[in-house]
Amino acid sequence: MQTHDVKIIFMSFVILIGIGAFLLMLPFAHNGELTIIDALFTSTSAICVTGLIVKDTPVDFTTFGHTIILLLIQIGGLGYMTAVTFLAIMRGKKLGYRDRLILRESLNYPGMSGVFRFLKIVFTSIVVIELSGAAILTLRFFTDMSFADALWFGIFHSISAFNNAGFSLFSDNMMGFRDDLIINITIPLLIIIGGLGYLVLLELYNYRKKSLTRLSTHTKLVLWTSAILIFAGMAIILSLEWNNPNSLGNLPILEKIVAAWFASVNYRTAGFNTIDFSTLNDSDLFFGTFFMITGGSPGGTAGGIKTTVLALSVIGVWFTLRGQNNPHIFNRSLAPYQINKAYAIIFIASFYILVSTVILNESENLHFVRTLFETCSAFATVGVSTGDGGSLSYSALFSDIGKLNIILLMLMGRIGVFAFTVVIVGKAVKTRIKFAEAKVII
């Protein structure tokens, strides 16, 4: 990871946030009053594909404002440097080695060879998937509204879902579609596909076409971990909320299962909701923070510490407990550096969340578990929230200082924990000096 390249990516997001906030502040972009801090918050939430809102998106913003938010989501989900590089390639511009390095960092691509070809595949995949989702959603919304409105709603929610953003043009998000199977299948599938990562999608495509004989260890880890987390989340939600009359208790059995499925998928990656999260038990919200912090997978549109980090850390702990020093999975050995890096990411993420939660809890003096939930949602760029009692996120109750804290968390989560820390402290300088090994009692 090149520190200079990470700083360029970081600054590109900062500049885009500023531009987005400026455009949203224009009189014809919003309705009523919009403060600078709320414009920055909305712009950051969109560009970092989070979905936390301090203004009611369908009410407080005009169609032009919705378009700006949607563009920010699309650029943020792909990555600014990736979008710029693609446009340069389309214009026939030749890019140098430094451009390739930046693009590799932005895409989380494992090497330098074939990075431009991979970028073109990424763009093609995005267009196909988002158009497919938009078509399905448009047909569904067309039963409730005019075709023009249904088309716009279909496009907006397809892009928002695939990029794991969670922004909605409905004031109650997706609560009005809790028993709608089309919505409860299409939206989560778009979220899952976007959160798997482009490398995984490409491998699955090539494997299906028989041009690839074996899935990589990375892809297998992503698929297994994602599936386990989704179904574990469903099981926890159902077990803790089954008899809660305020959430799932009064729903039919099938509707309970569908609502738990939708909530579990969105716990980790996006901010859509079909149930009111303010009605969930504190124990459920606490477990939810674990799923949110984990997030999606590398190279995708989701945030969090990533599924591979969780998988590597669990594997490392398992082999340590068994007294073995050769961790492996799927008949492949795992490098100790990778597992140590996973431990470091978890430690750093926990530190950031702990400090931010304490600061917010002391400065805002609000419900602790809900504050923790909001902090994790922002840090992992998830977007689910217990709400402010109305149609806004819990962050709407925060002071300007509290909102700035959330803005920083969203930016940190979108850049990546490790990358953000590299921007602050810089990368360690390699040395050839090796000290004598010490024995420390554990």
Whether the CA torsion 97, 101, 102, 106 is positive or negative: it is: positive
Task: Quote the pLDDT of residue 115.
Answer: 64
Cβ-contact 414, 51 below 8 angstroms = no
Whether the CA torsion 323, 328, 333, 337 is positive or negative: it is: negative
What the block records as the tokens of 404 is: 């700035």
Which residues, 6 or more positions from 201, have their beta carbon under 8 angstroms from its beta carbon? 125, 193
Cβ-contact 304, 380 below 8 angstroms = yes
Which residues, 6 or more positions from 290, have their beta carbon under 8 angstroms from its beta carbon? none
Cα–Cα distance for residue pair 213/140, rounded to 1 Å: 38
Cβ-contact 275, 261 below 8 angstroms = no
Amino acid identity at 56: D
Residue pointed to by tokens 């669990």: 314
Calculate Rg over the CA atoms of the chain.
21
Task: Quote the pLDDT of residue 197.
Answer: 81
Task: Quote the pLDDT of residue 286.
Answer: 92
The neighbour count for residue 181, using CB atoms within 10 Å, is 11
pTM, two decimals, is 0.87
Task: Quote the pLDDT of residue 34.
Answer: 92
Task: Quote the pLDDT of residue 267.
Answer: 87
Phi-psi region of 215 (alpha: psi -120 to 50; beta: other; left: phi over 0): beta
Task: Quote the pLDDT of residue 96.
Answer: 56
Give pLDDT tens digits along the chain (442 positions): 456 666 777 788 888 899 999 999 999 999 989 999 999 999 999 998 898 999 999 999 999 999 999 999 988 887 644 555 555 555 555 555 555 555 555 555 555 555 667 777 777 888 899 999 999 999 999 999 999 999 999 999 999 999 888 899 998 899 999 989 999 999 999 999 988 887 888 888 888 888 778 888 888 999 999 999 999 999 999 999 999 998 898 999 999 999 999 999 998 878 899 999 999 999 999 999 999 999 888 877 777 888 999 999 999 999 988 888 888 888 888 888 889 989 988 998 999 999 999 999 998 888 899 999 999 999 988 989 998 888 899 999 999 999 999 999 998 888 777 677 766 666 555 666 777 777 777 7
Cα–Cα distance for residue pair 250/256, rounded to 1 Å: 9
